[in-house]
Amino acid sequence: MVTTRSKERKLKKSDNVGSASWSNLSHDLLLLIIMQVGVFDFIAFSGVCRAWRSVALCNWNTFMGSKQPMRLSISARLNKKECYLEDHTRRKLETTIPHSSGRMCVGLTCGYLIFFGRKTRDFWLVNPLTRKELHFPGFPFVISHISTHVRGILVFSPSMSAWVFVVLTHRFSNGISFSIAGKQGKWSYISSISPIRDLHLFKGKIYTINTDNDLFELKLNPLPTLTLQRMENIPWSNFRYLGFISSGESLYAIDIFRDEFEAFELDLTEMQWVKTESALGEYAFFVSDFKCEAAIKPDTWAHPCTQYKMINYFGGGGRSTKSGRCIFSNMWYFPHNCLNDNGGDMGTGAVLNTLDE
């Protein structure tokens, strides 16, 4: 029997009956799928179509929070810089960083690489995964030596409806500067009586710690102020490199020098310093030369030492490798800190609530 063209069209149409588009798959099914993939595949998944992108953005924090730290390295070329991300399985992603010509990477905040212009003296923040960029104007204050000692914090201000970059240009600086992103941005400055060791965003508030181990809260609006937090049991040890590190609901002050490692929890409910050995056993402390550090509880991992074999690792202060686990790298990239900057959800702890007080 001869098949006519009209019959062929009818047959093709009937073959498609009951078939469903990939974009129409159940959101619950898509969520099960994406939770099994790696970070690189997740980013690719979010670019397939609008429906899949919506699912990815709605579950951004859940997905990123479940992933392990990645090593990060940047090429030293002046004209064109490549960024290399490597996960614990040794899988690598290479991407070119825009606006990096003539700039050096001086830090990392909320998934954004911080680049400083040698001649232009401006800051470009670039997210290597989402390619989102933020520009902050030429820095007007004197910087004696811009280096990896820059401590930068990126936060979103609901009152300003803008991203704010807060920066300590180097450790033991007596001043903190901040600016909003874009052409309208301008730098403001607040000084401290004592040199500042570090600053950190924790639960929507910015904290600083000085060379006397005093804790301050930094508020930017309506006028920038540093308010002393009266703490008990302040240690007067001769700390060398005291700095902040946080994990979920806990904020720590840690001091690492060679193979010596101390950690204190800053109990902001009881307003006291607590030296705790339990934290040393529960967490793996990922530390680096840059301000990209975190304390992570590896509940579902193999021992961190086996996951990061090629990275400098030590137990700290002669302790066993089951406690005080420090894992060093020149630079870490933490997926759980990578903000969903494509929608209203700014990520855990990224919204600075004190700006509206």
Residues forming a β-bridge with 205: 202
pLDDT of residue 225: 92
pLDDT band at residue 125, thresholds of 50, 70 and 90?
Answer: very high
Cβ-count burial of 302 within 10 angstroms (0-12 exposed, 13-18 middle, 19+ buried)? Answer: exposed
Q: Which residue type sits at 150?
A: V
**Which has the higher per-residue pLDDT, 80 or 235?**
235
User: Percent of the chain beyond pLDDT 70?
Assistant: 74
Most confident of 168-182, 195-209, 230-244, 301-315: 195-209
- Report CA-CA distances (Å) from 95 to 40, 74, 80, 124, 189: 11, 10, 11, 16, 34
Q: Tokens 């909003």 correspond to what residue?
A: 180
The residues pairing with 252 across neighbouring beta strands, listed in sequence order, are: 245, 265
DSSP calls for 43-88: HHHTTS-HHHHHHHHHTHHHHHHTSPPEEEEE---SS-EEEEEE-T
pTM value is 0.80
- Residue 99, sorted as left (phi over 0), alpha (psi -120 to 50) or beta, turns out to be left
Mean pLDDT, residues 278-293 taken together: 74
Cα distances from 138 to residues 125, 146, 210, 246, in angstroms, run 13, 14, 27, 31
Residue 7 pLDDT exceeds 80: no
Average pLDDT, the chain: 77
Residue 105 CA to residue 164 CA, distance in Å, equals: 19
The whole-number average pLDDT for the span 275-292 is: 74
State percent of the chain over pLDDT 90: 13
Note the pLDDT tens digit of each residue in 40-95: 888 888 888 888 888 888 888 888 888 888 888 888 766 677 888 888 777 888 88
Query: In the predicted model, is pLDDT for residue 5 greater than 60?
Result: no
pLDDT of residue 3: 52
Closest of 191, 180, 174 to residue 225, by C-alpha: 191
pLDDT tens-digit series, residues 240-277: 778 888 887 889 888 876 556 778 889 999 999 998 76
The rounded distance, in Å, linking the Cα atoms of 163 and 124 is 13
Distance CA 275, CA 261 (A): 12
Give the model confidence (pLDDT) of 161-170 as tens digits. Answer: 889 999 987 7
- For residue range 297-349, list pLDDT tens digits in order: 776 565 555 566 555 544 444 333 333 467 777 788 888 888 765 543 333 33
φ, ψ dihedrals at 203, nearest 5°: 55, 45
Q: Mention every residue, 6+ apart, whose C-beta is less than 8 A from residue 311.
A: 71, 327, 328, 329
Look at 4-8, 213-217, 336-340, 348-352 and tell me which has the smallest mean pLDDT. Answer: 348-352
- Give Cα 5 to chain centroid, integer Å: 60
Which residue is associated with the tokens 């003539």? 102
Give ∠ CA 33-336-261 in degrees, rounded to 5. 135
How far apart (Å, rounded) are the C-alpha atoms in residues 84 and 348? 25
Q: What is the pLDDT of residue 21?
A: 64
What's the N-to-C CA distance of the chain in angstroms?
82
pLDDT of residue 214: 92
Confidence band (pLDDT; 50, 70, 90) for 23? low
CB neighbourhood size of 248 (10 A)? 14
Q: Mean pLDDT throughout 118-123?
A: 86
160 vs 269, more confident: 269
Label residues 51-79 b or e (16+ Cβ within 10 Å = b): ebeebbeebbbebbeebbbbbbbbeeeee
Which pLDDT belongs to residue 348? 36
- Checking if the pLDDT of 4 tops 60, the result is no
Peptide bond into 335 cis (omega under 30): no
Residue 284 identity (one-letter amino acid): A
E strand segments, 203-258:
205-210, 215-219, 225-229, 243-247, 250-257
pLDDT at 355: 41
